[in-house]
Chain A
Amino acid sequence: MSKLVGLMASAAILAVSASLASAQDTIKIGVTQPLTGAFAASGNYVAQGAKIAEDEINAAGGVLGKKIQLIIEDNKSNPTEAVSTVEKLIQRDKVPVLMGAWSSTLTLAVMPKLEEYKVPMVVETSSSGKITTSGNPYVFRISPTSAMEAKAFQPLVAKMGIKKADFLYTNNDFGIGSGAEFSKMLKENGVQVGVMETMDPKANDFSAQLAKIRASGGDTLFVTTAVEQLTLILKQAKEQQLKVRIISCGGSNSPDQLIEQAGDAANGSFHTVFFTPWFTEVTKNPDASKRYMDEWKKRGHHVGGLTEGFRGYDGIYVAVAAIKAAGKPDPEAIRAALWNVQVKGVYGDIHFIKQGPAGKESAQNEPAVYLVTITDGKVAKTTF
């Protein structure tokens, strides 16, 4: 009897799901972002930026005569869940192109699925080198790698007078990759590397690590993590009277949010960013920057998210440019078209170069990297 109930329930659900396969009058783009969990602040900003792009594009007529529709799934800052969202988007929603997954660990987790189902993905934030060197031809990254970031930082090492540096980074591909690249670059430039402390992405008490860093006696601390943890680190560093110069890497540091939430503790810190909303005149495409920023503020989104949301904005524009060039919402055609995409985005002039093993290269953009500092509760240019 109970088995019968189960059978009927299954049959009913089958019928319902079948009937829900709606007509294809929009072109769907799948988005997987961490909307909850340890990276929720940044994931939400990226999603907001993506939606601004969606509305702008649809207002201008969409692409190929149809409107685009973003299907945004929450990967909960978890790699297994990220894989599940990609399965959903590809199998159920049949999206021809994806954008995601924010954190390097999440992106690395979904990459096998991209190859299995042959659907390309625009990588908008992740920084681990592995993503474009694993031989996955379905990856198109518009964000810089940690190696690129470290290389851009190199000229400043001597100017800032860094003699001994310590590291504090989050215990995942993002943090570990950043720590590895920056420490390598510093050593090549004659800087002594002290301790390299790690923390769980979900941790909120760093007194143990900060005490060790203080004992190490370096003059600079490189921190790589999401903005939530960065806020706490700045606050706790001040509480523990850690008087070193703090430089945050990775670009997901939302300086305005730091000012608001860490207050005085944020003063004197440095941050590498890939977009400078405070000085749009130095960005490569001030028009795109202004358009994005105006709409962001008009929607009342938090100003701290400007340095993160543009990634979603640019990502969607890149995907749509490829759909247009491909002429049809077909994953293989879009993949081929992505290689030739040239978009004047907030990241700069987006184009792709080949990276990775020959024959199975991934695509990588070459964005600009900026270093800003916070003084007196405001973001300022660095003058080295």
Chain B
Amino acid sequence: MDQLAQHLLNATILGGTYALLGIGLTLIFGIMRVVNFTHGELYAFGAYCMYALVMLLGVNFFLALPMAIMLGVALGATIEMLLLGRLRGADIDTTMLVMIGAWIAMQNTEQWLWSGVAHSINNPFPAEPLILGPLSVSWNRVYVVVVALLLIAATYYLVNRTRLGKAMRATFQDRQTAALMGIRIDRIHTATFALGSGLAAAAGALLGPIFFVAPTMGDLAAAKAFAIVILGGLGSITGATLGGFILAFVEELGAGYISSGYRDAMGFLLIILILLVKPTGLFARKERIG
């Protein structure tokens, strides 16, 4: 019974970061319809920023996080303007291929700069875990889930309650009309991509200190992000949040009770299952597939 409670606790914490990843991608993939292969690289980028800031430049651990996120936002905006600018309205295939090229270039740049050896980031939390009865959780992970939830709430507010958010939703529902209404489409595209990328960077910056920072860390994260987006339904932030938690629970319980080796497979099996049974995802609005 204790084991189960521990698994559930672990899953909740993991779910927060997965939700961040998923929301970031649902904005880009779901709303912008860009199969964003660089999402994993932004995740890794966030982690590398934390490494550089905290370990190499000695910046305070808590200050480094918003800095890493800002850098992620900036990188996302750059990618969008540089690469996707010319491809507005192009095939989904074309943008996808460009994103693949960008992904390869980015990951290998990271490896070239930082070498293939995994780096670790020190954190200022006490080594003793927080004990809640029979359960224990490290302070670092508590911090991660708290920050993740804050960011999710902030994003929700941004997209659903601000003018910028309204402009985003309008642009992707109907570009022409939005443009006619005076919305700067280009800026909105850049802003949405940058926001999605910033969230991915945040997830990486939060998880980097818990695990390791290595050039390939983004690949698995990106794959899971796609699973979450599909699970929750394209474009739905609520869906992505819930999807993140659902994936975390499935993974954690599957690993704990079925097989730890197939842990990462859970996400992919979930995607395939959902796409075959209910392709629109659990929480999406009605839309045509393909």
Chain A residues proximal to chain B, CB less than 8 Å: 35-37, 40-41, 44, 74, 171, 197-200, 203-209, 211-212, 214-215, 228, 231-232, 235, 238-241, 261, 263-265
Contact = CB atoms under 8 A, between A and B. Distances in A.
Contacts of A238: 127-129, 138
B252 A207 contact: yes
B113 interface: no
Given A36-B111, A263-B127, A264-B127, A208 B118 contact: no
Nearest 5 A-B pairs (CB), nearest first? A36-B116, A264-B127, A208-B255, A208-B260, A239-B138
A77 to B, nearest CB: 9
A261 B117 contact: no
B261 A205 contact: no
Given A215-B3, A239-B138, A241-B136, A37 B10 contact: no
B7 A239 contact: no
A209 B260 contact: yes
B173 to A, nearest CB: 39
A56 to B, nearest CB: 24
Interface in B104-154: 111, 115-118, 120, 122, 127-129, 131, 136-138, 141
Nearest to A41: B117
Interface centre among A208, A212, A265 (most CB of B within 10 A): A208
B217 to A, nearest CB: 9
B6 interface: yes
A37 B219 CA distance: 13
B263 interface: yes
Given A199-B260, A200-B261, A265-B127, A35 B6 contact: no
A74 B117 CA distance: 12
Contacts of B211: 204-205, 232
Interface centre among A40, A197, A214, A264 (most CB of B within 10 A): A40
B256 interface: yes
Contacts of A198: 261
A261 B209 CA distance: 10
Contacts of A74: 116
Contact of A241 (B129, B215, B260): B129
A241 to B, nearest CB: 5
B129 A228 contact: no
Contacts of B122: 263
A203 B220 CA distance: 11
Interface string B197-240: 00000000000000110010000000000000000000000000
A238 to B, nearest CB: 7
30 contacts: A35-B115, A35-B116, A36-B115, A37-B116, A40-B117, A41-B117, A44-B117, A74-B116, A199-B260, A204-B211, A207-B252, A207-B255, A208-B7, A208-B252, A208-B256, A211-B7, A211-B256, A212-B256, A215-B3, A228-B212, A232-B211, A238-B127, A238-B129, A239-B129, A239-B136, A240-B129, A241-B129, A241-B131, A263-B122, A264-B127
A240 B116 contact: no
Nearest to A239: B138
Given A171-B261, A204-B212, A208-B263, A228 B118 contact: yes
A41 B131 contact: no
Interface in B1-15: 3, 6-7, 10
A154 B115 CA distance: 39
Contacts of A212: 256
Interface centre among B111, B129, B131 (most CB of A within 10 A): B129
B263 A205 contact: yes
A326 to B, nearest CB: 35
Contact of B136 (A40, A197, A199, A240): A240
Contacts of A263: 122, 127
A264 B140 CA distance: 14
A91 B127 CA distance: 52
Given A238-B138, A263-B127, 14 more contacts: A40-B116, A40-B117, A199-B260, A207-B6, A207-B10, A207-B256, A208-B260, A208-B263, A211-B3, A211-B6, A211-B7, A239-B137, A261-B120, A264-B128
Contacts of A215: 3
Interface centre among A171, A203, A205, A238 (most CB of B within 10 A): A205
Contacts of B128: 238, 264
Contacts of B117: 36, 40-41, 44
Contacts of B137: 239
A197 B256 CA distance: 12
Interface centre among A197, A199, A211, A261 (most CB of B within 10 A): A211
A212 B128 CA distance: 21
Contacts of B115: 35-36, 40, 44
A308 to B, nearest CB: 12
A41 B118 contact: yes
A228 B119 CA distance: 9
B120 A231 contact: yes
Contacts of A208: 7, 252, 255-256, 260, 263
